[in-house]
Amino acid sequence: MNTQQELVLLPSHGAWNLHGSAAARFSQANDYLGYLSDRNYSPATTRAYGYDLLAFCRWLHEQNLTIEAVDTNTLINYLKFCKQSSVPGRPGPNVMTLDGQRADGYAPATVNRRMAAVSGLFTFLAMRDPCLPNPMPKGQESRWVSSAQRSGLLGHLATPAARSPLRVREPRRLPRSLESDEVIALFQGLRTYRDRAMAGLMLYCGLRAGEVLALRIRDVDIGGRWLLVLGKGSKERRVPLDVDVAGVIQTYLLAERPESDEQRLFLVAKGANRGLPLTAAGLRTIFRYHREISGVPDGHPHALRHTFGSALAASGVDLSIMRELLGHAHVNTTARYIHLVPAHVKSEYDAAINRQKQSH
């Protein structure tokens, strides 16, 4: 049984759907993906859910199961399968290397994302037919919180929504920001105004890579030094534009940007696609090249955004302002950057110790 040929994920009429000889057995997954599109989920999000459901449906097909036959025990077995599965070309997480270290397989975040997609599928099916049992076990009920705690200045006090116990514990790692010498080395290798502008928007304005690519010419107010940014969930926010980055963008528009009717700011500069909007794959290729020539292996687009966030925290910028600039939906996400400033932690520690010594 070649499951990979019998089930594939392909774009269809602006949405993502399962196709292949076995797709009819899992039509509920396509119904769910269509529901996500109807709710205006971005194509990238729908695609990510699609690949997670593709992995689930392929596993069900190999087990000779249908979605209707799934129960809680089936999901427990699928979680075990995900945890033991290996990345192509690498051993699974339960395989030990010769030096006694555990080998790397799928990351816990990947496993949890797959389980979240499966949970969404069954929540959708139960919503469509309340008589259907939901095999995904519910997490512990959270206490009641007021609407003021769910958002605004008290948002960090809100209890997170209950999550299913079918999850893998994830290590909590702090975002990695770049050192000043790494930033200098990376920027010295940027030869075009386009690449300098994109990197500058991430480093000095805190934009995500997708937000940079989504910028239109009319979203950039060079004179007023403002950006209109379309963030996650199609949420717009206004972000101040650094004066030096504004100058680079202006030079790019006047001297380097190809002639095109496209409204997107950043376009492909060479090749058959010259004049078309730069894609996410193209942006990754650009940064992969610059990481190699600059000798900065951690010079990813998101590392530049993390560097911006940690710089705000180091400067003592108010948490609510940081959240607005970074476009975070939850203040807890913004609060992580406070822990990225060991110099502030040390200074506060020294001040507290000095006060304690003076009191004796």
Catalytic residue among 58, 208, 257, 290: 208
Catalytic residue among 32, 41, 106, 337: 337
Q: Is 172 a catalytic residue?
A: no
15 has which bridge partners? 12
Catalytic residue among 232, 238, 290, 357: 232
Q: Is 302 a catalytic residue?
A: yes
Instruction: State how far the Cα of 179 lies from the Cα of 336, in Å rounded to an integer.
Output: 18
Q: Is 290 a catalytic residue?
A: no
Catalytic residue among 114, 194, 196, 305: 305
Q: How buried is 126 (Cβ within 10 angstroms: 0-12 exposed, 13-18 middle, 19+ buried)?
A: middle
The contacts of residue 292 (CB under 8 Å, 6+ apart) are none
Catalytic residue among 128, 274, 302, 346: 302
Q: Is 41 a catalytic residue?
A: no
Instruction: State how far the Cα of 305 lies from the Cα of 178, in Å rounded to an integer.
Output: 10
CA angle 240, 246, 249 (to 5 degrees): 130
The contacts of residue 24 (CB under 8 Å, 6+ apart) are none
Buried b (16+ CB within 10 A) or exposed e, 170-200: eeeeebebbeeebbebbbebbeebbbbbbbb
Q: Is 232 a catalytic residue?
A: yes
Alpha carbon separation from 41 to 18, 79, 161, 195, 323 (Å, rounded): 18, 26, 20, 29, 22
Q: Is 156 a catalytic residue?
A: no
Q: Which residues are catalytic?
A: 208, 232, 302, 305, 328, 337
